């Protein structure tokens, strides 16, 4: 693989990618073949047809599978255990009742979305989603058990918007560095863009799809029919447990920012400890240990009963983890085939204005290989020389960063591990996920780009 160079041009590679995606959809939707099997088979076939050496096809696929599972499996597994504890202790039901009492049934979806925007500032997309799902499901059961999309989509979209547009998430930070933009201005403009983008593509779209698709609440963390304790934990206790990983991750973010600005020493024990416990898997593991004591042992569930309780959370999410990993495998094979680089090279010489070229290249890379972060960082690397020559001011640079970010989220589909994560967690079939989540990602992309263009135009006028 180290000596192999792709000789196919953009046209044939695009045809191969389009054929592979079409084959996945046909096998899953028409022939009802399991998504896990389908993604493995099509990934291997795509690698062979794209010309990847036979000796490297399997290793490329397995590497993509493993790298995706490295983060997803830990987060989903730990999050599922935590969700099961919250549900079984009666904490989810108690919190949902208080939530509805405070915000009302009509404002619950909006309140969930706003809460997710706040939590999504330091938390990665997948970690935030798995943390919020127990509460989303409990509130949905409390108000409308057959309409989970009404409550889930505003929240899930909020985590997506924050992950794509705002530092300290890796995509916008990398693009900021490539373009030489000011991180503080990117953060400020990102907030201005992210909030209306979420409201239009997350909250309003969530209400729309909920009126078209009636999806019952999945039994991922247990059901309301399970035995509920007579002494549920206090709502403040549940909120404190849910906020614990947020605080730990935010500590990591803040300490890293202080270290990069030279305020604290990156070799100090405080920095090393804070950045260690603030990484998503570690923060969730610490939270789970606390929950085992507070929601388990201290409430009378101990020994083998507690062990069986958390073990019961892993079965329902096994399919989520494996299918998400297989989605990462397919995206990895497409990246190795070179389709994204080939198409980006063609577009780079298209003569488009810089901000349009950054958006279009990010869109092409996203659709071609799936990963939003890869699309954003690659597009930024390709466009960076043109940006450097353009002489943009700080606000124009921030607009270009966010336009590139908007392109990187366009139309997430079967080659994106996030597509499968949302599909499996919300118990959506592929066709419904394409009609709801893929469209949401497209709306998020186009809306964010329009707002970035407005900022760019205003910055150019002054």
Q: What is the pLDDT of residues 206-244, one digit of tens each?
A: 999 999 998 898 877 665 555 556 678 888 898 898 888
Phi-psi region of 352 (alpha: psi -120 to 50; beta: other; left: phi over 0): beta
Confidence of residue 176 (pLDDT cuts 50, 70, 90): confident
Confidence of residue 203 (pLDDT cuts 50, 70, 90): very high
Shortest CA distance to 66 belongs to which of 328, 314, 425? Answer: 328
Check residues 299 and 23 and name the one with the higher pLDDT: 23
Instruction: Assess whether pLDDT exceeds 80 at residue 393.
Output: yes
Residues in Cβ contact with 356 at an 8 Å cutoff, skipping those fewer than 6 apart: none
**Lowest mean pLDDT across 154-168, 294-308, 390-404, 448-462:** 294-308
Q: What is the pLDDT of residue 365?
A: 83
Instruction: Assess whether pLDDT exceeds 80 at residue 195.
Output: yes
- Alpha-helical regions (H) of 1-147: 10-25, 35-49, 54-88, 91-103, 108-119, 125-143
Q: What is the pLDDT of residue 432?
A: 93
Three-class SS state of 220: strand
At residue 37's C-alpha, the angle toward residues 31 and 39, to 5°, is 95
Q: What is the pLDDT of residue 228?
A: 58
pLDDT tens track for 74-124: 888 888 888 888 888 888 778 878 888 888 888 899 989 988 888 887 777
pTM to 2 decimal places:
0.82
Mean pLDDT of 34-55: 90
pLDDT tens track for 337-379: 887 667 666 665 666 788 898 899 889 888 877 778 778 887 8
End-to-end CA distance of the chain: 51
Domain ranges of the chain: 65-462
**Lowest mean pLDDT across 192-201, 380-389, 399-408:** 380-389
């Amino acid at each position: 693989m180290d000596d192999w160079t792709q000789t196919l041009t953009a046209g044939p590679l695009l045809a191969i990618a389009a054929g592979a995606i079409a084959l996945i959809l046909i096998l899953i939707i028409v022939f009802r073949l399991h998504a896990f099997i389908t993604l493995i088979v099509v990934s291997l076939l795509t690698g062979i047809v794209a010309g990847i050496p036979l000796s490297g096809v399997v290793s490329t696929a397995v590497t993509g599978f493993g790298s995706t599972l490295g983060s997803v499996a830990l987060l989903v597994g730990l999050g599922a255990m935590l969700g099961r504890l919250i549900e079984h202790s009666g904490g989810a039901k108690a919190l949902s009742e208080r939530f509805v009492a405070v915000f009302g049934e009509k404002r619950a979806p909006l309140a969930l979305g706003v809460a997710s925007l706040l939590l999504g500032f330091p938390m990665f997309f997948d970690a935030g989603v798995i943390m919020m799902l127990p509460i989303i499901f409990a509130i949905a059961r409390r108000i409308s058990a057959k309409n989970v999309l009404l409550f889930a989509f505003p929240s899930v979209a909020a985590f997506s918007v924050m992950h794509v547009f705002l530092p300290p998430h890796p995509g916008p930070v990398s693009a900021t560095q490539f373009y030489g933009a000011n991180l503080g201005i990117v953060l400020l403009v990102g907030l201005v863009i992210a909030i209306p983008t979420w409201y239009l593509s997350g909250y309003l779209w969530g209400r729309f799809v909920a009126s078209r698709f009636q999806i019952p609440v999945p039994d991922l963390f247990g059901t309301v029919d399970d035995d509920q304790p007579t002494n549920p934990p206090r709502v403040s206790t549940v909120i404190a447990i849910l906020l614990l990983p947020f605080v730990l991750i935010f500590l990591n973010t803040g300490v890293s920012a202080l270290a990069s600005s030279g305020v604290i020493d990156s070799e100090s024990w405080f920095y090393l400890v804070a950045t260690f416990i603030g990484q998503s898997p570690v923060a969730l593991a610490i939270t789970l240990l606390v929950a085992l004591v507070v929601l388990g042992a201290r409430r009378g569930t101990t020994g083998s009963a507690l062990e069986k309780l958390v073990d019961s959370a892993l079965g329902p999410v096994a399919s989520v983890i494996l299918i998400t990993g297989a989605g990462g495998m397919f995206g990895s094979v497409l990246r190795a085939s070179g389709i994204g680089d080939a198409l980006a090279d063609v577009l780079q010489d298209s003569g488009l204005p810089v901000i349009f070229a950054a958006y279009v290249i990010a869109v092409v890379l996203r659709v071609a290989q799936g990963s939003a972060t890869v699309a954003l960082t690659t597009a930024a690397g390709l466009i960076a020389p043109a940006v450097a020559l353009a002489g943009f001011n700080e606000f124009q640079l921030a607009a270009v960063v966010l336009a590139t970010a908007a392109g990187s989220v366009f139309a997430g589909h079967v080659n994106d591990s996030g597509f499968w994560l949302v599909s499996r967690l919300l118990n959506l079939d592929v066709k419904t996920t394409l009609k709801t989540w893929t469209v949401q990602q497209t709306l998020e992309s186009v809306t964010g780009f329009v707002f970035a263009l407005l900022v760019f135009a205003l910055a150019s006028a002054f």
